[in-house]
Copies of this chain bind each other. A is one copy, B any other.
C-alpha cells in the first residue's frame, strides 16, 4: 500500500481532534467525582478492544491520524476501565 496523501491526513487529524476531545469530559467527570457508576464495564471493555483493533488496522494501512487517534482513545478508555475496577473494590 502507498502512503496516504497529506491533505487526507489533515482531514483525519481534524476528525481525531473532534472525536477524541468529545471523549475527554467523560474521563474528567469520572476522575473528578471518583464515580464510574454511569458507565458499563462490559460496554467499555468492548469499546476498548474495538479501539485496539482500529489501532492495529490504522498501523497496517499506514494511517498516521488513525494511529494517533486510537492510541489516545485507548489510553482514555483504559483510565475509565481502571477507575471502574478500582471503585468496585
Residues of B within 8 A of A15 (CB): 50-51, 53-54, 56-57
Residues of B within 8 A of A17 (CB): 50
Say how many copies of this protein the assembly contains: 2
Q: A18-49: which residues lie under 8 A (CB-CB) from chain B?
A: 18-23, 25, 38, 40, 43-44, 46-47, 49
Please give the distance in Å from A56's CB to the nearest CB on chain B: 6
The chain A residues found within 8 Å of chain B, CB to CB, are 1-2, 4, 8, 11-12, 14-23, 25, 38, 40, 43-44, 46-47, 49-51, 53-54, 56-57, 60-61, 63, 65
28 contacts between A and B (CB under 8 A): A1-B1, A1-B4, A8-B57, A8-B60, A11-B53, A11-B60, A14-B50, A15-B50, A15-B51, A15-B53, A15-B54, A18-B47, A18-B49, A19-B46, A19-B47, A19-B51, A20-B50, A21-B46, A21-B50, A22-B43, A22-B44, A22-B47, A25-B40, A25-B43, A38-B38, A57-B65, A61-B61, A61-B63
